[in-house]
A and B are shown apart, each in its own frame.
Chain A
Amino acid sequence: MQRSSWPWRIFKALCLTAISLFFLFPILWVLLMSFQTNADILRVPPSPFFTPTLANYKALIAGELTGAGSTLQIAYMKNILNSFVLSACSVLLSLLLGVPAAYAFARYRFRLGENIAFTLLSFRFAPPLLVLLPLLLYFQELGLYDTYIGLIWVYQLITLPLILWIVRGYFEDVSPDIEHAYRIDGHSWLRSFLKIAVPLARPGIAAAALLAFIFAWNNFVFALILGSSDVQPVTVGALAFITASGIQYGQIAAGLVLSVIPTFVLALVMQRYLVEGLSLGAVKG
């Protein structure tokens, strides 16, 4: 690459800073707000100087929101736990079902194969409300309403197609002859799948799992309709802030920060695999 002149480099740096600020500023603002009292936040004129407080976090973790004079019991930590259980279990189930299915779609042609794959994908662009009402009726009938299992089941509509389609692409990139070479050396089909195909597609699987986790985490409408507060995730639980007397900006900010942490940590952990995927892809030839 040729070296660019310094005005151009400065211009690029400025642009990058501007873009970063634009995207990072709201996050920073929310982070700051979460350490402020409502009074600090609403002060006119606003001031960047304040005494940080952990009161918002304490209230959330204790499950007691103190608004203007009244106290509201909320189960925010429980919501976070629910989010985690729902998203993690959904992704695990989807991996269990989706990775072998993706392999099958990538390697074998079978009757109606493409149609099945496409139908699964079409769940992604069907409006969820279209299926929710009938689902609600079924769920109440089957006793799945307000259960983890019921929600994990519908979450498959979100996570399974994602995993299936992303991982399928990765399997297609792995030459079948690499597995053939392994199988002709005396290994069974299953071993070649587990020892060759899956490890070679691991970066893709990691990326798909992370993405699916985020999608599941951010889902709102399924849990809103198909569950009560016992199983509801943070996205739904956060509604409680609005119905509380007055809007507690500090507590909302703290709630947001808490709800982002699990996904953030997961992304950091997965990063290793994602990068491995990029570097492996670059030299795969």
Chain B
Amino acid sequence: MADLTLDSVTKIYRPRGREPVRAVSGLDMAIADGEIVALLGSSGCGKTSTLRMVAGFETVSEGSISLGGRRLNALRPAQRNVAMAFEGYSLYPPLTVRDNVAFALLRERAPRAEVASKVAEVAELLEIEGSLDRYPATISSGHQQRASLARALIRPAALHLLDEPMSQLEPQVRAVLRARIKEWLKDRGMTAVLVTHDQTDAIALADRIAVMEASRLMQFGTPAELRERPANLFVAGFVGEPPMNLVEAEVVAGDGRPRVVAADGLLTLELPALNGPLAPRPGQRVWLGLSPRHLAVGRGPQRARVVANQWLGDQTHLALELGDGAAALPLIAVAAGMLEAEPGESVAFEVEPRGLHLFDHEDDTALYHGSPDGTTGEPA
């Protein structure tokens, strides 16, 4: 229950006899008191390393970490008042699950009755009552993971670090637990940083999401910001299921409004008048991002051929193609509800103005995000 600040935090591992590994590079994050933040990124991007530095199991190579205004760098793990659920569960094998969960509280000499009721409460929350009196090695990995989560959640620490807390859980349980964990954290005003590979988990649980890739922070924002204003090409291509369509394109000056032309003219879209230092200039090469949810099929000036039509029970994923042969431009569109379209059929579609994004071709940063009405450009 305190705010966490990471100030250009860098972690360089120097394994013996091998090249140094930059696991985290210049990470800047300010997490407010009571906020839940998800670290999202592919395997090996430095998520666990970040948590371990905050917890104090790895030294910080550069930069500083502070929690509630207190600089943590030189403090021992025991002094940091942080609770953590480990990626590998790390329960104490000689203790029962109940003792594992109660361990930290008993150490703080909390009254036995109080500890027992808290254990019961958190066990009910995570549905592990049946495993409480068993040893960690004798329960399933899903229950071990929940026990390790319970051990972290039961502590009233200043900060909770949860490293992939739900990776082993089956989807139904996951959905239920997500909601309960969020409620538990919010009710108690707990600050939490959780690591996940799963975007749904991140979106459902976190107030803000930090997208990491190859040791760097790509964007730190609310789920809506990540979806509607991705800061760079990586985030655009990573967030969302399916992620944004990305096409190389060129900005050309039109009569009146500038346009963006992709795939040798197969797709031409109008842009609002652009200004500002980052605004793309005519002649500039860009990446055009088209959000699948804002490709409206069944109306509009563009035409494309349906390649595949997948009904997922609540939405339709359409694979479209513009043009033919090797030069054809593939696009994915998502429509709410069922859509009647046979493969091979030609359909009309339209790019809704707010589904249009432009990214710099050289450094991949965002140049433009469409606004809902499409009249004013929203330079990034």
Measured CB to CB, the residues of A under 8 A from B are: 109, 114, 175-178, 180-189, 196, 199-200, 280, 283-285
Q: Which residues of A are found within 8 Å of B82, using beta-carbon distances? A: 184
Complex Cα–Cα for A184 and B16 (A)? 27
Complex Cα–Cα for A185 and B148 (A)? 13
Q: A184-B82, A185-B107, A283-B137 are in contact. Are A178 and B16 (CB under 8 A)?
A: no
For the complex of A and B, 10 pairs with smallest distance between CB atoms: A177-B90, A283-B137, A185-B104, A183-B77, A177-B86, A178-B90, A184-B77, A181-B90, A186-B78, A180-B57
User: In the complex, which of the residues A181, A187, A200, A280 contacts B86, with contact meaning CB atoms closer than 8 Å?
Assistant: A181
* B80:A184 contact, CB within 8 angstroms: yes
> Separation in Å of the A82 CB from the closest CB of chain B?
38
* B88:A199 contact, CB within 8 angstroms: no
Complex Cα–Cα for A189 and B135 (A)? 25
Nearest chain B residue, comparing its CB with the CB of A189 = B76
Q: A186-B104, A285-B137 are in contact. Are A175 and B78 (CB under 8 A)?
A: no
User: In the complex, which of the residues A177, A184, A189 contacts B83, with contact meaning CB atoms closer than 8 Å?
Assistant: A184
* B104:A180 contact, CB within 8 angstroms: no
Nearest chain B residue, comparing its CB with the CB of A283 = B137
- What range describes how many residues of B lie at the interface? 20 to 34
Q: Which residues of A are found within 8 Å of B90, using beta-carbon distances? A: 175, 177-178, 180-181
Besides A109-B16, A187-B107, 14 new A-B residue pairs in contact (Cβ under 8 A), listed by A number: A175-B90, A177-B86, A180-B55, A181-B84, A181-B151, A184-B82, A184-B84, A185-B83, A186-B78, A186-B107, A186-B108, A196-B92, A200-B93, A284-B137
> Separation in Å of the B218 CB from the closest CB of chain A?
27
> Separation in Å of the B285 CB from the closest CB of chain A?
48
> Separation in Å of the B260 CB from the closest CB of chain A?
50
Question: Chain A interface secondary structure, helix, strand, loop or mixed?
Answer: helix
* B138:A283 contact, CB within 8 angstroms: yes
Complex interface bits, B90-109 against A, C-beta within 8 A gives 1, otherwise 0:
11111000000001100110
Complex Cα–Cα for A187 and B56 (A)? 13
> Separation in Å of the A70 CB from the closest CB of chain B?
60
Does any Cβ of A come within 8 Å of B208's Cβ?
no
Nearest chain B residue, comparing its CB with the CB of A177 = B90
Nearest chain B residue, comparing its CB with the CB of A200 = B93
Complex Cα–Cα for A200 and B88 (A)? 17
Complex Cα–Cα for A204 and B346 (A)? 71
Q: Which residues of B are found within 8 Å of A181, using beta-carbon distances? A: 84, 86, 90-92, 148, 151
Nearest chain B residue, comparing its CB with the CB of A188 = B78
Q: A180-B77, A285-B137 are in contact. Are A185 and B86 (CB under 8 A)?
A: no
Report 18 cross-chain contacts, Cβ distance below 8 Å, ordered by A residue. A177-B86, A177-B87, A177-B88, A178-B90, A178-B92, A178-B93, A180-B57, A180-B86, A181-B91, A181-B148, A182-B92, A183-B78, A184-B56, A184-B82, A186-B108, A283-B93, A283-B137, A284-B93
Complex Cα–Cα for A109 and B14 (A)? 10
Complex Cα–Cα for A71 and B88 (A)? 70
